[in-house]
Amino acid sequence: MSTKYDVVVLGSMHLDIKAFTATYPKHGDTATAKSITMIPGGKGANQAVAAAKLGGKVAMLGSVGNDGAGKQILDDLDSWNVDTRFVRRSEDLGTGTFIVEIDDSSENTMVGTMGADNSTTEQDIKTAMSQIDAPVLDLQLETCKESIMTALEEGRKKGMYIILDPAPADNYFREAMRYADCVTPNQQETERITGIKVNNRVDALNAAKAIVELGPKTAIVKMGDAGSVVYHEGQVYEIDAVKVNAVDSVCAGDVFAGALAVHYSQHKDFLAAVNFANRAAALKVSRVGNHFAFPTSDEMR
């Protein structure tokens, strides 16, 4: 018998080591950070927590290592009421780890290893999806291609609405676009997919149309504080950014994706979901921190 959820998330779960600095050190330099924290992250975990904190019943798919970092991540997900029963514990690979550097402008640069994130198998996904009933599948490109393609295929078979966050840009592969209903790239990811450099909303619209030609029904091109351009069912919508005092841009895109997924799953109003996601991401940018800084459903009322 299947368990009912609002959103199923396939994605990465890894430990983020975040260093806050005044400015990025030059190549070869040593810099002293203002602070360093070690917290659970990964695009998949972030999006699952975002959806759960905004009132969704969420199942997590993916893999962690059978190590202390993996336990920390699973404990964190459990604390936010994300169902982790389908998460694989790898005996062969350690939990993925990323180093995140954030400067005074709130921009971030990352480097890391995927570790167990790349160990999820076709059978892991098929077994999990056979036990799941949900209207929305949310995924990124931060796990292995095998797991992504299997989830896309199984999600399509089950008639799920598929939201693809095509990040990171370096992991993009065109085949995934044939299965996605909605694709949500930022400027860098948009250029990777379409070859169009997005400098303004005209560029964003041209890119969104090019994305839709690859298969999705909808494209949302995100431009940070310049807002977003949505090309949905042949119609164009320009969404202004919510003005906030930006202090930490890390996870903004993940909050957007999680918020979009949970709102659409519960209300089936796409444009309302986009605006909800836009507000949720803005609220996150105004706060320093990871999962504890994500907005809650009460704060979004």
Q: DSSP string spanning 71-136? A: HHHHHHHHHTTEE-TTEEEESSSPEEEEEEEE-TTS-EEEEEEEEGGGG--HHHHHHHHTTEE-SE
Catalytic residue among 6, 165, 203, 254: 254
In whole angstroms, what is the distance from residue 294 CA to residue 40 CA?
Answer: 13
Close Cβ partners of 199 (under 8 Å, ≥ 6 residues apart)? none
User: Residues marked as binding for substrate?
Assistant: 14-16, 42-46, 142, 254
90 with 114: CB under 8 angstroms?
A: no
Of 177, 173, 172, give the one whose Cα is nearest residue 156.
177
What is the per-residue pLDDT for 219? 98
CB 52 within 8 A of CB 80: yes
Q: Which residues define the annotated binding site for K(+)?
A: 248, 250, 284, 287, 289
**Residue 10: pLDDT above 80?**
yes
Mean pLDDT to the nearest integer, 269-276: 96
- pLDDT value at residue 46: 97
Q: State yes or no: is 254 an active-site residue.
A: yes
Range scoring the smallest mean pLDDT among 37-41, 244-248, 290-294: 244-248
H/E stretch holding 239 reads strand 235-239
Domains and CATH numbers, the chain: 3-12+43-95+117-293 (3.40.1190.20)
Q: Tell me the CB-side half-sphere exposure of residue 148, using CA atoms within 13 A.
A: 27
The pLDDT value given to residue 122:
97
Question: Does 102 score more than 90 pLDDT?
Answer: no
Q: How far apart are CA 204 and CA 187, in angstroms?
A: 8
Task: Measure CA of the first residue to CA of the last residue in the chain; give whole Å.
Answer: 34
Q: Kindly list the distances between the CA atom of residue 40 and the CA atoms of 88, 114, 207, 225, in Å, as whole numbers in the listed order.
A: 16, 13, 33, 26
What confidence tier does 249 reach under pLDDT thresholds 50, 70, 90?
Answer: confident
H helices, E strands: number in the chain = 8, 16
Q: What is the pTM of this model?
A: 0.92
Mean of the per-residue pLDDT values for the chain? 94
84 — pLDDT class (breaks 50, 70, 90): very high
Question: Using one digit for the tens of pLDDT, what is the confidence trace for 223-237?
Answer: 988 999 999 999 999
pLDDT value at position 117?
Answer: 95
Residue 191 φ then ψ, to 5°: -65, -40
CB neighbours of 157 closer than 8 A, spacing ≥ 6? none
> Which residue shows structure tokens 């298969």?
215
Which residue shows structure tokens 């998460």? 87
